[in-house]
Structure 1
């Protein structure tokens, strides 16, 4: 009758996995993932154009890069573990809304960099991350994009519409009516999409002085405005 000892019990699982695990390679991969995550952090902070900057979201990009690298390191040599990880991640639901499409780019960047670091493609991860960072810095900070404005005017006389058109066309490079509605009390509200010359919005003062105009509001518009 054969007897089992400690080595016989663990040699097929624990000891073999421990022997194939390299602490030096793991720490080096995590260090590179942290460096790339820090690069993503700095690029995001430098190129942020939104209304409210989220420091916690930016920090999560660093952690996401390192966590992805750890996952890839763990499943790269174990088929069963990789299948289990895929099944576990398939039931995860993220309920935090992503309002800026560019934020998705940074999330995907962090995941891809983490995958490459975990799969030991260190040089590809570094070169690719530097290239992506330079592209984002150039196109966001160096190239000026002219965003339109929404001009919301509330008035009580339809006879002043020609005067409004005259003032707007004299100061805007391009304008168009987006909506027009009738308010209670026979008031009217019209919304223009305007592109002003040299960001000059002083003409809104001229609009507010027209008889019959109750209010005039200028809003920055990036295509995702919701009332």
Structure 2
């Protein structure tokens, strides 16, 4: 078979109407996977502000990746043109949360596997990913990080603050000495209830006020 005959056959088979049900099934499967990823992202999101536009992008990414995979696998001419077209595309949107990359690649791979007809692999990989997300979510909530900002008078409350933190892991971030008092910023990993830790700190004699700020490592200057 010559190259001309091969390309001609590929074009005819690529636009064959008998592939329409298969393509529709793959796109529906990709849509279902995208909706599942959307739900998981919304359910286990632990950032500061939930981005609905990013979550919707995960659904569209899965469907569009499936469409690209179908086009490449069904027609050699389109695949060559698409490779050339995609090679000049540059995405410059910064991803602030590294965990968002996990969902992006999950959405892309879900679209690729469903477009290739590997539905069992897509379902199995998604089940593994959900297990990983659940495990990481529970592991993170086992100890939440806070920044405690305290203002107190004198030197004695400093030792009492250390005792009040108890078994919670902490690290002094800053200590500012002023004529009117001392400002102390402490990063605390609260295994106990944060409100209980706040009450213990506030009950120390000499402590004027306590501010607890939840910190998850996602604040950028």
1:134 aligns with 2:131: yes
Aligned residue in 2 for 1:180 = 175
Q: Structure 1 stretch 36-45 or stretch 162-171: which is displaced more?
A: 162-171
> Residue 66 of structure 1: CA displacement?
0.5
> Residue 134 of structure 1: CA displacement?
3.0
CA contact (8 A) 2:148 2:211 kept: yes
- Shift in CA distance, 132/175, structure 1 to aligned 2, threshold 3 Å: closer
Aligned residue in 2 for 1:210 = 206
Aligned residue in 2 for 1:8 = none
Aligned residue in 2 for 1:221 = 215
Q: Secondary structure at the match of 1:98?
A: coil
Aligned residue among 99, 102, 107 for 2:104:
107
Task: Report the TM-score when normalising by structure 1.
Answer: 0.76
Q: How many residues align?
A: 207
CA contact (8 A) 1:172 1:194 kept: no
Aligned residue among 159, 167, 178 for 1:165:
159
Q: Secondary structure at the match of 1:148?
A: strand
How large is the RMSD of aligned CA atoms in angstroms?
3.0
> Residue 99 of structure 1: CA displacement?
3.1
Matches within 5 A, 1:13-52: 15=12, 17-19=14-16, 22-52=19-49
CA distance in 1, matches of 2:123, 2:191: 42
Task: Report the TM-score when normalising by structure 2.
Answer: 0.77
CA distance in 1, matches of 2:180, 2:164: 28
Q: Which runs of 5+ in 2 are unaligned?
A: 1-7
> Residue 189 of structure 1: CA displacement?
3.1
CA distance in 1, matches of 2:220, 2:213: 11
Q: Which runs of 5+ in 1 are unaligned?
A: 1-10
- Structure number with larger C-alpha Rg: 1
CA contact (8 A) 1:172 1:196 kept: no
Aligned residue in 2 for 1:6 = none
Deviations 1:52-78 (A, max 9, x none): 222222222111100111111122342
